[in-house]
Amino acid sequence: MTRRTLWSWIVCGGLGASAGWGCGGDTGSACTPGTEACECYGNGTCNPGLTCYSGVCVDASAESTGEEGPSDTSNTEDGDATGDGDGDGDSATTGDGDGDGDGDSATTGDGDGDGDGDSATTGDGDTTGDGDSATTGDGDTTGDGDTTGDGDGDGDSATTGDGDGDGDATGDGDGDGDCTLADIFSQAEWDAMFLHKDDSVCFGSIYTYQGMLTAAQAYPTFACEGSEEVRRRELAAFLGQISHETTGGWATAPDGPYAWGLCFIEEVGCAGGGCTQYCDAGNTTYPCAPGKTYHGRGAMQLSWNYNYGQAAAALGVDILANPDLVATDSALATQTALWFWMTEQLPKPSAHDVMVGNWTPTAADISLGRLPGFGMTTNIINGGLECGFATPAAVEDRVGFFERYAMILSTTTGSNLYCDQMASY
């Protein structure tokens, strides 16, 4: 008890009652109002040196300011500020229901009274003293500062409810801040795009959805920069370009000409080793291997020994010595195309940078009509034969594939689809 409570108990609840001291209205005839242990004057005052407490004059020096504990203002005679009857001096003001003397500062009925000083003000459900700053009901309040409501305490910046708690904004669940192609591209969409690659008249069985996903792991920014619309657009652009390079379609083909992408794995007529014209014998950095040819293979129809050599160095697979791997390995068949797509080859930017907005054309580029968009990727790939003049059928084919895939992927194509007004490199 405090001194004040002790004195009140002595006067009114203990000794005073048996000694005949005045308490409230029962003062006794021998007690003079305003004197010590007697009732206060009618105006609530006492003689000098005394103070009126609960209707009784007491020695002012006996009052306490709480050096033995918090002063009880509840008048419940238990030393408890919440009326729970446990005498703990609990400072909770909302009926915490435990009376544990914890001084819990929660003001919304946290239900534990653990003295943690939890600062949550929205009913976080644990009040563990974590100081959780979340104000949106994240469900963990573990002191993590999580503000996204995912309940994992990771500080995840994702705003779309990824639910993985890895600090990753893309929802793949690996915690490294990157994303995966599978986030925006499904097996069903792959199948809808490439309706005829496995037909008996085609040679595209080497191309698979899983091979595509595996290939993309070597280039983690592919289809992983920008908004989801931009990501899907880049994917549609890449698939459109490789579909043109490997198409088996024609104007009146079943399901239309743009359903026949990835029909071929090697340049037509070159599988037997007869296409020896793609060897630059003067290139000593990436010399041609004896008995090998460097005709078009894979999704981008990689050609020439110097391109095979550069891709080999980038991918860590010696396709310069063994170029046939590009036509027999599902991942390499697409990975070589991604290498070409993702790699800047000055003065050309990378097709990737063009499609995601990383490339800003110079004043000279603008004067030559080179502007960001799908048409610029065509200029990068084959501008010398297809750009800077009236649109040829090859460009129409590229655009047709791109538009179909953009529709399947539920994205937009953007502007500058053609390159007829662009100077080639």
Ordered by start, the domain boundaries in the chain are 1-88
Q: Count how many residues are written for the chain.
A: 425
How far is the C-alpha of 189 from the C-alpha of 395, rounded, in Å?
A: 24
Could you tell me which of 268, 247, 267 has the C-alpha nearest to residue 258?
247
b/e code 314-328 from CB counts within 10 Å (16+ = b): bbebebbeebebbbe
Name the pLDDT band for 52 (thresholds 50, 70, 90): confident
Residue type, 177: G
245 has catalytic annotation? yes
- Where do we find the tokens 């953009």? 406
| Contact (CB, 8 A) for 159 and 148 | yes
- Whether residue 357 contacts residue 365, with contact meaning beta carbons closer than 8 Å, is answered with no
Region 418-423 average pLDDT: 98
Which of helix, strand or coil describes residue 39?
A: strand
Return contacts of 62-69, CB within 8 angstroms, 24+ apart.
62/3, 62/4, 62/7, 63/3, 63/4, 64/2, 64/3, 64/4, 66/2, 68/1, 68/2, 68/3, 69/2
Q: Could you read off the pLDDT of 346-376 as tens digits, one per residue?
A: 999 999 999 999 999 999 999 999 999 999 9
Question: Would you say 377 and 355 are in contact if contact means Cβ atoms under 8 Å apart?
Answer: yes
**245, 266, 267, 386: the active-site residue:** 245
Angle at 251 between CA 419 and CA 376, to 5 degrees: 15
Backbone dihedral angles phi then psi of residue 424, each to the nearest 5 degrees: -80, 170
Distance of CA 103 to the CA centre of its chain: 38
Q: How far apart are CA 342 and CA 3, in angstroms?
A: 80
Confidence (pLDDT) at 61: 53
Phi–psi pair at 53, nearest 5 degrees: -135, 120
Task: Tell me: pLDDT of 133 over 50.
Answer: no
pLDDT tens digits for range 182-203: 999 999 999 999 999 999 999 9
Contacts of 152 (CB under 8 A, 6+ apart): 140, 144, 146, 163, 164, 165, 166
**What is the average per-residue pLDDT within 239-246?**
98
Separation CA 344–CA 364 (nearest Å): 18
Q: Using CA atoms, how far apart are residues 50 and 129, in angstroms rounded to an integer?
A: 44
Is residue 11 pLDDT above 50, yes or no? no
The reply to whether the predicted model has a pTM over 0.95 is no
DSSP secondary structure letter of residue 52? E
**DSSP-H helix ranges across 162-254:** 187-193, 209-216, 228-245
Backbone angles phi, psi at 297, to 5 degrees: -140, 155
The answer to whether the Cα torsion of 141, 144, 145, 146 is positive or negative is negative
Matching residue, tokens 């088996």? 248
**Band of residue 48 on the pLDDT scale cut at 50, 70, 90:** confident
Q: Cα separation of 309 and 303, whole Å? A: 10
Residue 304 has pLDDT above 50, yes or no: yes
